[in-house]
Structure 1
Amino acid sequence: MTPQSLLDPQLAPLFIDVPTPAFSDETIPILRQAMAGSPIAKAGVDVKAHYLDRADGTTLRIVVVRPLDATELTPVVVHAHPGGWIFGTPETSGSTLVDMARNSSCAVVSVDYRLAPEYPFPAAHQDVMAALRWVRSAAQDQGFDADRIVLAGESAGANIAAGVALRCRDDGDDHGIVGLSMVYSPLDDRAISRPAHPYAGSIGLSASHIRFAWTSYLRGVETDHVTLYAAPGRAENLTGLPPIFLAVGALDPVVDENLGFAQRLIRDGVPTTLHIFAGAPHGFDRMETAKVTIQLRELRNEHLNRCIAL
């Protein structure tokens, strides 16, 4: 059995004979330019940027995508984009944001958080927390339902979303969070030292890519001082989290830690939905026409709609 024989054939154009760029300090600027994304298509949605002031005098950009037929009180998805904490923008996830806004009747607030290694943890975490606070404080002016908020993200963004959910739980204020959506999330920095199953990371993003991303995100942080907000897999207790949607491909280098995280969530009484997609490497949903991507989006939207209906 070869990794190629396990790959979903519809994903082959994305991964076969397509080199995966190396992650390094030298390639980061190139990757950022390539992965910045195009302006978000406005078919059936309204797209607006907002700018929040940080304490250091800089501004945080957030992009709000909402359906044109949004009701007066619209549930909100606070979203963090993928990119290994080192690249990406809300526009990188443009089609994902539009899909969620149109098919879950939510306003999607995507955060243009600061990137590592220039801004290691907790910068991105703080930026998503700031966006969450803005959603609540601006709810009346923006027409948001501050009691129906879902945190969501893909890859590094899913990690950040989970860390924010844990922070809110520990602060004793759920901030109106009713759900958490996590797609192929790196969860535990210690997992990179453990052997994965033989096909994990064999196509596309590999364990070495994940290792570099973690090293960038945690630059300057001693191993013994990595918190559960940076690496949610380190949390000793997961009780008190909202209903969680987990999705990951069977060929993804983070599949094993997602499986283990789901087991711990279930053991700790957290309503958990887990989907493993056969033949799917990390980032498979960039192939938007593939049936597996369509299925992922449908399942994620079902979860969002269940959460906001509670």
Structure 2
Amino acid sequence: MTAPSPRALAWRRRGAAFAGGWREFARHRSGLVGLAILLVIVVLALLAPVITDQDGLDVIKATGGPMESPSGEYPLGTDRLGRSVLLLTLWSARVSLSVGLVATLLSVAIGTIIGILAAHFGRWVSATLMRVTDFFLVLPSLVLAIALSTVLARGMGTIILAIGLTSWPAAARVVRAQTLTVEARPYIERSKALGGGHLHVITKHVLPAVMPLVFVNTTLAVGSAIVAESTLSFLGLGDPDPMRPSWGSMLRSAWLDSAALVGAWWYLLPPGIAIGIVVLAFTMCGRALETVLNPRLREG
């Protein structure tokens, strides 16, 4: 019988590790509930063009009356322009989730690169990068994001840049601490002694060791990014295109139309509840993953 190749053995070990991680994750009911909620919301957001008509977002083609209460035709009522609140909520999920995920990936990527470089090279490189990180930590990220969104042209790309470029310092400090721990292990010294360069050590040893932490940090940071996007949109700094609404812009419209004063609860509550549910679901998944990937938490 032919012995399996090293690549096959590596993939077999990865499959076994993934299966073990999934079994550990499945032990956390909160993580499973959060994952199920996220799957349902993502599927609804992806299927929005299939199960709904985007033309209903056009104020010219809206067929409902202003702020109609929930009915059979409009389960969540309508807004001031006669558009279905349910339709707005579904399509807003696409924008809010997309901005939250992409902005989080950008911020985590920046933080990971800076954290690894600061820990690996040390000395003046670490001092310089950490002083830059401390500068961004001292300044409120939301204020910086508002400033960037005000200077640049309004749109989804601007919000993603504003959130991604201002929320990376926390990830950088966490990754730097983990990288210092990994760099102190004996196999790193052996790799350097055998002629491994900086790129080899970082890509082959350090990065794989810190990726679980990065993945958990990404999961936990998506909720904060969605809240930041909603805040910027509520302040009027979001995408001005009415065909690309977000949960934050829905809240802004409800506030401008005095939905709370006239008792139009169906106009105000759906986007707020959607934001709360999604943030809670990401937090539950992130905490469960943190327990799975951190042996000390798992033992506790």
TM-score class, shorter-chain normalisation, is: under 0.3
Bigger share in strand: 1
Bigger share in helix: 2
Instruction: Output the TM-score relative to the length of structure 2.
Output: 0.25
- Which structure has the higher relative contact order (CA within 8 Å, separation 6+)? 2
